[in-house]
Amino acid sequence: MAFFFYALNFLVVGKSLCRLNVPLQKKPTVMSEEKLSIEELGEFGLISHLTEKFKDKREETIRSIGDDAAVIGKGKIKTVVSTDMLVEGVHFDLSYVPLKHLGYKAVVVNVSDIYAMNAEPKQITVSIAVSSKFPLEALEELYEGIHRACEVYNVDLIGGDTSTSLSGLTISITAIGEAEEPKIVYRNTAQDGDLLICSGDYGGAYMGLQLLEREKQVFKAAPTAQPKLDGNDYVLERQLKPEARKDIIKQLAEIEVIPTSMIDVSDGLASEIFHIATQSDLGCQIYEDKIPIDEATYNLARDFNLDPTVCALNGGEDYELLLTVSQTDFDKFKNNPFFSIIGHMTDKPSGVNMVIKDRSVVPLKAQGWNHMNKEA
């Protein structure tokens, strides 16, 4: 998410500071046997832990850490800023990810955060760390994808940085957007009784990843084997070249609705539902049979002996938008092809639950993407 690289930078500095603070003489101290695990904390727990001492001091800082993007500025028009990092071996595998697609996706990941604030992206900066052995032609391919995304989303590349790397390719992009302050939407402002609505469908990107990983293992075992990818164009595109939902922001403006809360779905639908519920101090009830799953995703999940609903809830990298709206806006959404009504917000004691297909109610579990998982 937006401040992932920010947290990692602090992690590195923290190690250095600990070494500087080692006492010169040994003292008989009692050491706690409990050690904080970064993996157990997860991305958001780590960010919260490292930044808990930081308090906003500037009046122009309207929203800082804790949302899809920060909101800053004075006057009616506010600036919205988000940063995401993609790390080779963690977020992408160059054995099957085309560099042009990677460049495009790196921009999409960031502008999606801007749209989640109901804002319009305007500019980006691009910073990369890459080995000097990386061929120039490869970097040109990467930037061709970045250029294409800038054209599609009408944003300007205005700066960045380059550095050498000893451990693969790293891409960090900052997206800058703007919106009128009354139209900016946060993730912590849902209301009890609001409808829970999502765009698009879910699980396709995850199944695209499963397919690519399977073919990678086949290639390792039999390098002359031809990849079996025919008929899976939809899930492959969802994984390799996703699109940010600028059309949803346009549609919301056309039907004259400002959501009560909104978040982009990057770490899994279930995780994002929990973010809205937790940060809004509410519960939620969703319906399994209302979760939109494309037929291609459903069939491929079955071929892999996976539960399509689990893939949709926990797969991640969908880059759709999840939002809440007042029930008074129901008629604007009930037959709207851009949206699916999947549930509603409840009071906090009710918890976050899912009504499964046999109509029984079970607690919703979020097992989405964990950026801090050492096995990711």
| pLDDT band at residue 364 using 50, 70 and 90 as cut-offs | very high
Is residue 14's pLDDT more than 60? no
CA angle, 50 then 52 then 53, to 5°? 100
- pLDDT tens-digit map of 146-191: 999 999 999 999 999 999 998 899 999 999 999 999 999 999 999 9
Which residues, 6+ apart, have CB-to-CB distance to 106 below 8 Å?
A: 84, 86, 126, 145, 146, 149, 171, 173
- pLDDT tens-digit map of 336-346: 999 999 999 99
Rounded Cα distance, 303 and 155, in Å: 40
Taking 3-state DSSP, the helix, strand and coil percentages for the chain, each rounded to the nearest 5, stand at: 40, 25, 40
Q: Where are the domains of the chain?
A: 4-183, 195-363
pTM: 0.85
- pLDDT tens-digit map of 79-134: 999 999 999 999 999 999 999 999 999 999 999 999 999 999 999 999 999 998 89
- pLDDT tens-digit map of 242-288: 999 999 999 999 999 999 999 999 999 999 999 999 999 999 999 99
Contact predicate 206/120, CB 8 Å:
no
Domains 4-183 and 195-363 share a fold: no
| pLDDT band at residue 293 using 50, 70 and 90 as cut-offs | very high
Helix ranges (DSSP H) in the chain: 4-20, 38-51, 99-115, 136-153, 204-221, 233-240, 246-254, 269-279, 295-303, 308-314, 330-333
CATH of domain 195-363: 3.90.650.10
- Please tell me the predicted confidence (pLDDT) of residue 173: 98
Which fold is adopted by the domain 4-183? 60s Ribosomal Protein L30; Chain: A; (3.30.1330)
Here the tokens at position 363 are 């607690």
Contact predicate 325/194, CB 8 Å:
yes
Top-confidence residue, 205 or 223: 205
- Please tell me the predicted confidence (pLDDT) of residue 292: 98
Contact predicate 249/115, CB 8 Å:
yes
Q: Closest Cα partner for 316 from 362, 272, 373, 274?
A: 272
Taking every pair of Cα atoms in the chain, the longest distance, rounded to a whole number of angstroms, is 72
Q: What is the DSSP secondary structure assignment for residue 91, as one 8-state letter?
A: T
Rounded Cα distance, 92 and 94, in Å: 6
- Please tell me the predicted confidence (pLDDT) of residue 38: 72
